[in-house]
Chain A
Amino acid sequence: MEQPRKAVALISGGLDSMLAAKVVLEQGVRVEGLNFFTGFCVEGHTHAIRKQDRARPKRNNALWVAEQLGIKLHFVDVVEEYKPIVLNPRHGYGANLNPCLDCKSFMVGRANEWRRERGFGFIVTGEVVGQRPMSQRRDTMPVVARESGAGDRLLRPLCAKRLDPTLPEREGWVDRERLHDFHGRSRKPQMALAESFGFTDYAQPAGGCCFLTNRQYASKLTDLWTSRGRRDYDLDDVMLLKVGRHIRPRPHFKLIVAREEGENRYLEGYRKRFTHLRTTSHQGPLTLVDGAGGDDDLLLAARVTARFSQGRDADRVTVEIVECGGESRTSEVAPLNPDEIPPSWYV
């Protein structure tokens, strides 16, 4: 049975979704949060992998927000379902490979299914008219409501007064007068509202939570598709693009070279699936070879690996090369000079 004064809120871990949920909670509505795991989330991963980042206090911002609000938070694994959004977004990409409009419609759509299954009345998001160039414009916000299937059960409490009244407002489940009229890219209204709620410690607002908005990451994903001759990926691809230096000396193979101990440890988990190299005469990185490589290619890979080892200035460095099937051999190589790795090799 539907309980109209229950809402499901999309919680990213940023300020806007936190405020939107709080505004509705303040009206006595019961709220539960959803957080979608696409694989492209910046949250946590590099933090977990890179040793230098481990010293910083770790927290999942969406969970932290849920605790501050006193609401339940449900994670939804959408890695597989999300692929068509990334690969063929109906509304195209933003500045990089970010399919923001399709993404928002997808997430609101999933929230709408969740809501229907549990009898919740409406959906809450932290969207603000005019804040984002793609998904949060006056002309695209109705697209999200329509294509998600949520229709007028989608409430945007931070800018509701600038939009037509939704079902929860018309039915009196929430008081429209106690909603807001924020618009544009200024963060001042959000910060003032946060202060009024006593929120002082929150994640840096606006963007930055998705690797698809990152130019370098998008470049690496594009390179992956080009090299394979098809647009596809799996979760391991997505994760490996977050780790190490990606160097493509030849079109048919790429090297993933760990940058520090934490990345070395993370790449260890992929050793059985990739031909890999490591220096044995000096401390150095673990390097994975992505793509078929002949002897000349592996020699070049060994010289690149040596270049990023403690033996970079030595005449010779010993490198162990382990083929995908487990066969191992060592080679003594001269490390490449920095000017022998042209910028065009860096993906």
Chain B
Amino acid sequence: MTPRHTLDARNLLCPMPVIRVQKAMESLAPGEEIEVRCTDPGAMSDVPAWCRVHGHEVLEAAEDDAGKIRITIRAGPGDDDGRSA
């Protein structure tokens, strides 16, 4: 299934891709998915790390030979304040 949401964070250096992901996740309902495209190799560790601390699930994180990165995230249940990120 293709995620309904996509985020283009190419040519941004960390932590900017993470900041963009953080902003995007604010508008996602629990269970919704988003595909993030990045080029900074740091995103391969930083985006999943950010997702872990916020309770979101990384479904896939892959980097191709050209250095293009795709990370698919499923929004977690949010916290007891009702905040998703």
Residues from chain B with a CB closer than 8 A to the CB of A47 are: 42
In angstroms, Cα B18 to Cα A74, docked, is 10
A64 contacts chain B at the CB level, 8 A cutoff: yes
A228 contacts chain B at the CB level, 8 A cutoff: no
Residues from chain A with a CB closer than 8 A to the CB of B16 are: 37, 77
B57 contacts chain A at the CB level, 8 A cutoff: no
Interface string of B10-23 (1 = CB under 8 A from A): 01011110110010
Residues from chain B with a CB closer than 8 A to the CB of A35 are: 15
Interface members, chain B 66-81 (any A CB < 8 Å): 79, 81
Chain B: CB-nearest residue to A54: B41
Interface members, chain A 176-207 (any B CB < 8 Å): none
A interface, over-half SS: mixed
Q: Is the CB of B13 within 8 A of A44?
A: yes
Interface string of B36-60 (1 = CB under 8 A from A): 0000111011100110111000000
**Can you show 11 pairs from A to B with CB atoms below 8 A apart?**
A35-B15, A37-B16, A47-B42, A48-B13, A59-B46, A60-B45, A63-B18, A67-B52, A73-B50, A75-B15, A77-B19
In angstroms, Cα B18 to Cα A47, docked, is 16
Q: Is the CB of B13 within 8 A of A239?
A: yes
Q: Is the CB of A64 within 8 A of B49?
A: yes
Looking at chain B, what size class is its interface with the partner chain? 20 to 34
Given the known interface contacts A48-B13, A48-B14, the answer about A58 and B42 at a Cβ–Cβ threshold of 8 Å is yes
Looking at chain A, what size class is its interface with the partner chain? 20 to 34
Residues from chain B with a CB closer than 8 A to the CB of A58 are: 41-42, 44-46
Interface string of A18-42 (1 = CB under 8 A from B): 0000000000000000010100010
A45 contacts chain B at the CB level, 8 A cutoff: yes
Q: Is the CB of B13 within 8 A of A37?
A: no
Residues from chain B with a CB closer than 8 A to the CB of A72 are: 53-54, 79
B85 contacts chain A at the CB level, 8 A cutoff: yes
In angstroms, Cα B19 to Cα A304, docked, is 38
Residues from chain A with a CB closer than 8 A to the CB of B85 are: 74
Interface members, chain A 238-270 (any B CB < 8 Å): 239, 269
Given the known interface contacts A48-B40, A118-B81, the answer about A75 and B49 at a Cβ–Cβ threshold of 8 Å is no
Identify the interface centre among A54, A71, A73: most chain B CB within 10 Å of its CB.
A73
